[in-house]
Amino acid sequence: MDKIAELVSEYKKLVFVVVADPILLGTLKAPAEFGADIVVGEAQNLGSGLNYGGPYLGYMACKDERKMLRQLPGRIVGKTTDVDGKEGFVLTLQTREQHIRREKATSNICTNEALNALMATIYLSIMGKKGLKEVGEQSYHKAHYLAAEIDKIPGFEVINKDNFFHEFILKSDKDISKIIKKAKEENIIPGYNLENHGMNALLIAVTEKRSREELDKFVEILEVL
């Protein structure tokens, strides 16, 4: 990211946008520390269930610059204090364009996912900085352990073995559909089939919830295919 930031800094008109996994942000350096202008991402993994594909919530943040802040869609809530010195949150910025520009307003891309936002708030409050960091570290180490073990099996190759957080692409000369079917028979959902994207491969994700025994069981299934 530092190298990308250096390249962006050479061109003043460029906007440096980072798409980041919020779990990863608890482990690595924050995008703002290497000059990101805008950070966006999917926050489903902050406490929301899979819910058959939705609804989910996204997040967006930007530099504290008046011009850029006013370009953000939706409403901005700010923290303040009342006359008694108690903390409170108020609607700080609500662009009038959604009333004036109507269908052309950027704020119309927002939807109300308050329940998911509440889930994310509860999750982050419970986990805290230490908990979020531990989730990230466990996901990283377990995913890399599984990738290294599978990569030893003939007929399988981890394509992005040196560049991933907790998701990796497993390429194989074997039938991916059969791999998925066999894994499901052992109560394992192995990953996303990438055949529809022109690759005989699986996209595999590992989180902190997976145990060493479960990972080893998946490796054993692949070894006998």
132-223: what fold? Aspartate Aminotransferase, domain 1 (3.90.1150)
Q: What does the pLDDT look like over 7-25, one tens digit per residue?
A: 777 777 888 899 999 999 9
- What pLDDT, on a 0 to 100 scale, did the predictor assign at position 162? 81
Number of Cβ within 10 Å of residue 66's Cβ equals 8
Q: Is the pLDDT assigned to residue 139 strictly greater than 90?
A: yes
Q: What does the pLDDT look like over 107-125, one tens digit per residue?
A: 555 666 788 989 999 999 9
Distance CA 100, CA 80 (A): 28
- What pLDDT, on a 0 to 100 scale, did the predictor assign at position 52? 85
Give SS3 for 77.
strand
Domain ranges of the chain: 2-123, 132-223
Q: What does the pLDDT look like over 145-177, one tens digit per residue?
A: 999 999 999 999 999 988 899 999 999 999 999
Residues 6+ apart with CB under 8 A from 114: none
Q: In the chain, pLDDT over 70 holds for what percent of residues? A: 90
CA angle 1, 162, 62 (to 5 degrees): 25
Highest CATH level, class, for 2-123: alpha beta
Q: Range with the lowest mean pLDDT among 33-47, 57-71, 166-180, 208-222?
A: 57-71
- What pLDDT, on a 0 to 100 scale, did the predictor assign at position 122? 96
Q: Is the pTM of this model over 0.85?
A: no
Number of Cβ within 10 Å of residue 48's Cβ equals 21
